[in-house]
Amino acid sequence: MRTHLRSLSSRARAPAGALRKLNASGSISELLAVHRAGGSDFDSVAVGAMWTRLRRLARREPAWVRSPRAAAALRPVCDQTRVMLSGLCARTVANMLHALATMRLVRGGPWEPLWRDAAADVPGRLAEFNEQELANLTWAFAQSGAAPPPLMRTLSAEVRVRCGGFKPQELAAAASGFARAQALSPALAAALADATLAKLPSFGPTELANTAWAHARAGQATKGSAPLMAAIAAAAAPMASDFKPPELAMLAWAYGSAGGPRPPGLFEAVAAAAGAKVDQLRPQELGNIAWAFARVRIADDALFDAFGGACERRAAALEPQHVAMLSWSCATLGYGSAAGAGGGDAAGPSRLLQ
């Protein structure tokens, strides 16, 4: 059977102009029309381009991906990819799984057997994947929850050996992927921490936030990863204003949940950055940052005053869990009394308790 599948894939060749048409598609419907017209002749490169373009278009059309028609429309693409799977190059396999995971297409559709077949096919060919492909593959399986435990152990062993060659984005993706899958073991965390420390000056806000979040979630922040967490805090504080709102929330949550000594200057920098971007923070992000400050017992009157104003302006968007988190944070820090926790005017912060 495997020989037959390799034969099918080896005969497939992309028609002239197929890549150009795929990359020029301006909508998912247009992309699928290109596949219907010539997809039976696609080679590995064209299949990879198809999935990559689909992932990018899905960002513009999230409603299409979530609609009932997605399963029927994507079935021919999924079925063809399954037939060709064993003969697809490593880059195409990694791109395909990364696309499916990004679109959250895992169960209940024609993509489910594709995940299952990929989980069986990948372990025997990990040497074919370069460092970027290995990181994307790991992130995809972890994000999807479709990887059986033996596969995650196999991926973990491979990443431990090769993570020294990972770029910052790949190190962050691997750490967050394994943490999300609850598979960031002490040995793997230590290997990733060593590789990350060696390249930390090249890390940007996204990589710093994701890495801190991963090690904190895995419970390694006060263990083998403690030196890494201290180094990330020192690197993040001066550039906190460059962090996007979700990254600020991840960073705050990581150090709020980590325990251990308070990183010098980090929470002050996060407070200044979050206060300046308060109207860009989603309710969950407001709650996570407030919770982190309460966990480390840092009462910042200006920040919580800004949070109180933001909650008043967006009261309709607050769900019960957001209100509960914000209220607990304020109560823990002593807001809501006549004087703020820092001795100042608590009128703003106390609004969160009303």
High-pLDDT (> 70) share of the chain, %? 90
Q: Are 51 and 84 in contact (CB under 8 A)?
A: no
pLDDT of residue 335: 87
Q: Which residue has the tokens 């919580």?
A: 304
Please give the share of the chain, as a percent, with pLDDT higher than 90.
75
267 within a domain of the structure (yes/no): no
Task: Please report the pLDDT score of residue 337 as a whole number.
Answer: 47
Phi, psi at 89, each rounded to 5°: -70, 160
Q: Give a yes or no: residue 257 inside a domain.
A: no
Note the pLDDT of residue 46.
Answer: 92
The mean pLDDT of 207-215, rounded to a whole number, is 96
Domain that holds residue 293: 277-354
Is 330 within a domain?
yes
148 and 197 within one domain: yes
pLDDT tens string 309-338: 999 898 888 899 999 999 999 999 998 643
| Domain's final residue, options 108, 125, 142 | 125
Quote the pLDDT of residue 229.
94
134 shares a domain with 104: no
Predicted local confidence at residue 11, as pLDDT:
40
Is the Cβ–Cβ distance between 104 and 66 less than 8 Å? no
116 and 5 fall within a common domain: yes
The residue-averaged pLDDT of 282-299 equals: 95
Tokens of 38: 């010539």
| Concatenated DSSP letters of 136-177 | HHHHHHHHHT---HHHHHHHHHHHHHHGGG--HHHHHHHHHH
Same domain, yes or no, for 89 and 19?
yes
- Mean pLDDT lowest for which of 60-74, 76-90, 174-188? 174-188
Is 258 within a domain?
no
Please compute Rg for the chain using Cα positions: 23
166/172 Cα distance (integer angstroms): 9
Average pLDDT of the residues of the chain = 88
**What is the separation of C-alpha 321 from the centre of its chain, rounded to a whole number of angstroms?**
22
35 pLDDT more than 90: yes
pLDDT at position 239 is 97
pLDDT at residue 341, rounded to an integer: 46
Last residue of a domain, one of 233, 251, 269: 251
The confidence score (pLDDT) of residue 222 equals: 61
Distance CA 129, CA 123 (A): 11
Tally of domains within the chain:
3
233 and 295 both lie in a single domain = no
Give residue-wise pLDDT tens across range 127-170. Answer: 999 999 999 999 999 888 878 889 999 999 999 999 999 999 99
Boundary-marking domain end, from 85, 100, 125: 125
Task: Tell me how far apart the alpha carbons of residues 136 and 129 are, in angstroms, rounded to a whole number.
Answer: 10
The count of other CB atoms within 10 Å of the CB of residue 274 is 28
Please indicate, yes or no, if residue 211 is contained in any of the structural domains: yes
CA torsion 269→271→273→275, rounded to 10°?
A: -160
Residues 13 and 50 placed together within one structural domain of the fold: yes
Count how many residues are written for the chain: 354
- 97 backbone dihedrals φ, ψ, rounded to 5°: -70, -35
